[in-house]
């Protein structure tokens, strides 16, 4: 189990020796879960179709929040796709919403397709006025891609910013120079088959990222883990499909032969780089993304990865309370 900090990438060989390479790493970290003795990774519906979701019986609802007494009714939350979808696309999207709702911690009563949108009925008894904020992330596209790093540069917010390390393709040079990671913007479009530019979630490093080698389709399960030893932050355990495990081993082996930054493998979530660890050798195992996750953040991310990717992002266009 190895970690990447914000300022160092620790490289670990088969015999367990380690050295530090100065680099501004990503805000998240990657931990390779592999067998003893293996070389480790360096971290750096048709309309009206519905489903009921039962609230956990071992979670008694509180009678108030910091904002006052809780509402005991429900809300119908309408999620509208940013790009119109046909009936089959809406049906597939509703299935993803159901899976996300089941793992979100929200007391979701039903998910239906209605009037070219997906409507989620959620109880207000658990989170009261906070429900609207908590339900919104269900509509994120939720796309995970794993991409080799072509070039990286620390930004003004990070120590040692200045010149990129690696090669920035000529056709991306102007856009890379203009990319300001400190500015809040719409999520960057992540088309797996194309090169993209990206920033880490802290805005301290920006990247040129090669086309994706892996996507969320290569993950059979993502779950939250709280380590018994080490950091107290929650982690996300990624278990690959058989195909994904083979690709992960092959790609990490290939990247391990490069020099910084071309030996780094970026985990990209909806256009943001969660982690971009350096690789020292091929890894025949699963992976854990860790560092600075709260329980709610880890649960949301793991649930979204396990549920799959929406064809397009959805936005909340109506929040109607009822009793």
Q: Is 50 contained in some domain?
A: no
- 124 and 155 co-located in one domain: no
Query: How far is Cα 271 from Cα 192, in angstroms, rounded to an integer?
Result: 10
- 152 and 296 co-located in one domain: yes
Cα→Cα distances 213→47, 172, 193, Å? 36, 20, 9
CATH code assigned at 80: 3.30.70.100
Query: How far is Cα 190 from Cα 243, in angstroms, rounded to an integer?
Result: 22
pLDDT tens for residues 113-147?
A: 999 999 999 999 888 888 998 899 999 999 999 99
Q: What angle do CA 221, 224, 225 make, to 5 degrees?
A: 120
| The pLDDT of residue 291 | 59
Write down the pTM of the prediction.
0.74
- 100 and 110 co-located in one domain: yes
Contact 114, 46 (CB under 8 A): no
pLDDT tens for residues 286-322?
A: 888 865 788 888 888 888 899 999 999 999 999 999 8
| The pLDDT of residue 45 | 35
Domain that holds residue 80: 64-140+309-322
Cα→Cα distances 295→48, 129, 232, 300, Å? 33, 20, 10, 9
- 219 and 281 co-located in one domain: yes
Query: How far is Cα 252 from Cα 54, in angstroms, rounded to an integer?
Result: 41
What is the percentage of the chain residues whose pLDDT exceeds 70?
73
CATH code assigned at 149: 3.30.1360.200
pLDDT tens for residues 243-282?
A: 999 999 999 999 998 999 999 999 999 999 988 999 999 9
Contact 139, 313 (CB under 8 A): yes
Query: How far is Cα 105 from Cα 107, in angstroms, rounded to an integer?
Result: 7
Query: How far is Cα 132 from Cα 244, in angstroms, rounded to an integer?
Result: 36
């Amino acid at each position: 189990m190895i970690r990447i900090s914000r300022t160092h990438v620790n490289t670990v060989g088969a015999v367990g020796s380690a050295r530090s390479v100065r680099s501004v790493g990503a805000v998240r970290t990657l931990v390779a879960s592999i067998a003893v003795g293996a070389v480790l990774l360096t971290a750096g519906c048709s309309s009206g179709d519905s489903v009921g979701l039962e609230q956990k019986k071992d979670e008694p609802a509180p009678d108030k929040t910091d904002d006052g007494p809780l509402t005991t009714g429900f809300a119908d939350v309408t999620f509208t796709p940013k790009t119109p979808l046909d009936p089959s696309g809406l049906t597939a999207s509703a299935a993803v919403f159901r899976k996300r709702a089941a793992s979100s911690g929200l007391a979701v009563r039903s998910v239906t397709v209605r009037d070219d949108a997906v409507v989620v009925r959620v109880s207000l008894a658990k989170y009261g006025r906070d429900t609207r904020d908590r339900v919104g992330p269900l509509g994120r596209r939720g796309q995970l891609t794993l991409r080799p790093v072509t070039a990286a540069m620390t930004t003004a917010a990070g120590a040692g910013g200045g010149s990129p390390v690696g090669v920035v393709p000529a056709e991306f040079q102007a856009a890379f120079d203009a990319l300001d990671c400190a500015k809040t913007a719409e999520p960057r479009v992540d088309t797996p088959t194309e090169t993209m530019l990206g920033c880490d979630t802290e805005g301290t490093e920006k990247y040129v990222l090669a086309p994706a080698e892996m996507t969320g389709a290569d993950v059979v399960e993502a779950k939250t883990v709280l380590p018994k030893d080490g950091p107290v932050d929650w982690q996300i355990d990624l278990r690959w499909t058989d195909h994904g495990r083979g690709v992960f081993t092959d790609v990490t082996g290939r990247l391990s032969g490069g020099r910084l930054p071309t030996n780094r493998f970026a985990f990209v979530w909806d256009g943001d780089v969660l982690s971009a660890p350096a690789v020292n050798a091929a890894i025949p195992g699963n992976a854990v993304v860790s560092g600075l996750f709260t329980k709610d953040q880890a649960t949301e991310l793991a649930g979204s990865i396990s549920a799959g990717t929406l064809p397009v992002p959805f936005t909340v266009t109506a929040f109607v309370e009822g009793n």
